Amino acid sequence: MAKKTTHSIAERDARTQHKIVELAKDISKMTLSGREPQLSIPTRTKSNTLWNRKKGILEMGDGTADRPLFDLKTAKQFMQTMLHASTIKDLIEARKTSSLRGVFYKAKHTVAGTKENTFDTQDESDPILEDLEVALGALREELHVFAENRGSMVGNITIVDKGDEIDCRRMGSGGYALPSIVEPDVIQFKKCEAKFILHVEKGTVWNRFNEDRFWEKHNCILTHGAGQPPRGCRRLLQRLNQELGLPIICVLDSDPWGHYIYSVIKQGSISLAFESTRLAIPEAKFLGIRAKDFRQCGLDDAVKIDLTENDIKRAREIAAYPWFEGHKGWQKEIQAMLTNGFKMEVESLITKDISYVTEVYVPERLKAKDWLD
């Protein structure tokens, strides 16, 4: 089994390598034949994102943007793309992986004869890597690039990570840190008793659930994604859902940001629409916090956080997403929040009791199947 994996990795690397060389050869050919060199890169914008109603996920359209060298707007990006392509080829050849930041540093230098840097910040570098992913049709891990670990997991499951067996029942207070690459060749699921996954928005809430051993009492897996969950976290959830058939239940804030996190987990994001098939979990459910909870749980006025103008604008945008547009429950939910005029964080339930959320709120809602999906 291990040997086969190595073999397939070698094959995969060869494939990626080939793609990069082909890309560069195209440029080389254009250059030497006197044609204007240009890259063609699928666009990662809302206008090039399609909503696949049947599958319930976002998909990337066919739209591509030309990135000619001899255009002021794209000249620098053209150079940056070629620099990253070269860096990645080196990584693959050396059979090493690098963090996003590492790649940024590898390609960052002063342009010969000037005071200008090839890259000024990592914010410039990361989107170029995503461009390369879509241009080459290769995923980030295939490019030997990874992001920082983000998010944690505990629960009734044992996994194997690069051959190390990890018992997620014995992770203490910190949990298993979710790596950015969780593909089957890295992580395999070994033994799982859990019946569902409870995904919470951030570490503080996750700590509450973990301290109260919620996962033990309710036989589940407990995860968080430190806000907007990164690709590693989403991919792992998706695999647990697909491969082990575990439902995903989300406990997020009652605000546009929380709604958007749910939307990304469920349908995928615009900028990573090309990966939706690997990341989106159309079955994911939104348990709370709900706009109605202020009254239903009898919360104190102190927990209210006024909606800002920006929040209101964002909420309307989200309500207009095609995947929410025809969803009566969600239209009602967002409308209720707007009518309330305030948002609430999961932590607001602490005003009832420190463990109200783990002992009353979530169990009751689970039992009543009171959620949005």
Partner 1 sequence: MDAVSETTAKRRKGATAEELATRQRDISVSEFFAKNRHLLGFDNPRKALLTAVKEAVDNSLDACEEASIVPEIAVIIEDLQPERPASAKSSRYRLTVIDNGPGIVRKQVENIFGRLLYGSKFHRLKMSRGQQGIGISAAGMYGLITTGRPMVIHTKPKAGGPAHHIELAMNTKTNRAEVTTDDEVKDFPPARLAGLSSGTKALSAEGGFLSTEAFRTGTSVSIELEGRYQRGRGSVDEFLELTAIANPHARITFVPPSRESSEDDEGSILAGAEASAATRATATTETGGVVIYPRGVHELPPETREIQPHPKGIELGILLQMLKDYEATEKGSLFKFLQERFCRVSSATAAQMCKAAGATSRTRAGDIEAPQAEKLFQFFQEVRLPPPPTDCLAPIGVRQLLAGLLKGVRAEFYAASSRSAEVYRGRPFQIEAAIAFGGDLPADDPARVIRFANRVPLLFQQSACSSFKAVLETGWKNYNLQQPRGSLPAGPIVIMLHMASVWVPFTSESKEAIADYDEIRKEMKLALMECGRKLGTYLNKRAKMRREGERRDVFERYIGEIAKAVSAITGEDAKRLYDALHAQAKRKTAVADQQLDEDGRVVRGQEDPDDDGVIIVPEAMTGGPVDEAMSGPQSEAPGRRPATRAPGERPARAKPAASSPPAKALPRAKHASPKAASPKRASKPASKPSGKPAPAAPPKVPPPRPAPRRTFPDGPTLF
Catalytic residues, by residue number, are 105
Which residues, numbered 13-42, are part of the site for partner 1 (CB under 8 A)? 20-21, 23-25, 27-28, 31-32, 34, 36-37
Contact between residue 208 and residue 355 where contact means Cβ atoms under 8 Å apart: yes
Q: Closest CB to partner 1 among 47 and 114?
A: 114
Contact between residue 162 and residue 200 where contact means Cβ atoms under 8 Å apart: no
Residue in the structure block whose two tokens are 């956080």: 305
**Rounded Cα gap, residues 88 and 85, in angstroms:** 5
Q: Closest CB to partner 1 among 14 and 21?
A: 21
Is residue 69 at the binding interface for partner 1, with CB under 8 A as the rule?
Answer: yes
Which residues, numbered 263-322, are part of the site for partner 1 (CB under 8 A)? none
Is residue 82 at the binding interface for partner 1, with CB under 8 A as the rule?
Answer: yes
Q: Closest CB to partner 1 among 82 and 192?
A: 82
Q: Using CB atoms within 10 A of its CB, is residue 116 exposed (0-12), middle (13-18) or buried (19+)?
A: exposed
Q: Closest CB to partner 1 among 13 and 347?
A: 13
The torsion angles phi and psi of 122, rounded to 5 degrees, stand at: -65, -25
Contact between residue 262 and residue 284 where contact means Cβ atoms under 8 Å apart: yes
Sole binder of partner 1 in the list 9, 50, 65, 79 (CB under 8 A): 79
Sole binder of partner 1 in the list 70, 211, 213, 370 (CB under 8 A): 70
CA-CA-CA-CA dihedral for 190, 195, 201, 206, to nearest 10: -80
Q: Closest CB to partner 1 among 82 and 346?
A: 82
Q: Closest CB to partner 1 among 32 and 302?
A: 32
Contacting range for partner 1; rule: CB under 8 A; set: 77-85, 135-143, 256-264, 273-281:
77-85
State which amino acid sits at residue 288: G
Query: At closest approach, how far in Å is the CB of 137 from partner 1?
Result: 17
Sole binder of partner 1 in the list 75, 177, 320, 354 (CB under 8 A): 75
Query: At closest approach, how far in Å is the CB of 64 from partner 1?
Result: 20
**Rounded Cα gap, residues 76 and 69, in angstroms:** 8
State which amino acid sits at residue 25: K
Query: At closest approach, how far in Å is the CB of 94 from partner 1?
Result: 13
**Rounded Cα gap, residues 153 and 248, in angstroms:** 13
Q: Closest CB to partner 1 among 131 and 311?
A: 131
DSSP state of 19: H
Q: Pattern 105-144, binding to partner 1, x per CB under 8 A?
A: ------xxxx-x-x--------------------------
HEC letters along 114-142: CCCECCCCHHHHHHHHHHHHHHHCCCCHH
CA-CA-CA-CA dihedral for 160, 198, 286, 350, to nearest 10: -140
The torsion angles phi and psi of 299, rounded to 5 degrees, stand at: -85, 160
Is residue 85 at the binding interface for partner 1, with CB under 8 A as the rule?
Answer: yes
Query: At closest approach, how far in Å is the CB of 272 from partner 1?
Result: 26
Contact between residue 244 and residue 189 where contact means Cβ atoms under 8 Å apart: yes
Contact between residue 221 and residue 153 where contact means Cβ atoms under 8 Å apart: yes
Q: How many residues belong to the site for partner 1 (CB under 8 A)? A: 31
Sole binder of partner 1 in the list 45, 51, 65, 76 (CB under 8 A): 76
Residues that bind partner 1 (CB under 8 A): 20-21, 23-25, 27-28, 31-32, 34, 36-37, 69-70, 72, 75-76, 78-79, 82-83, 85-86, 89-90, 111-114, 116, 118
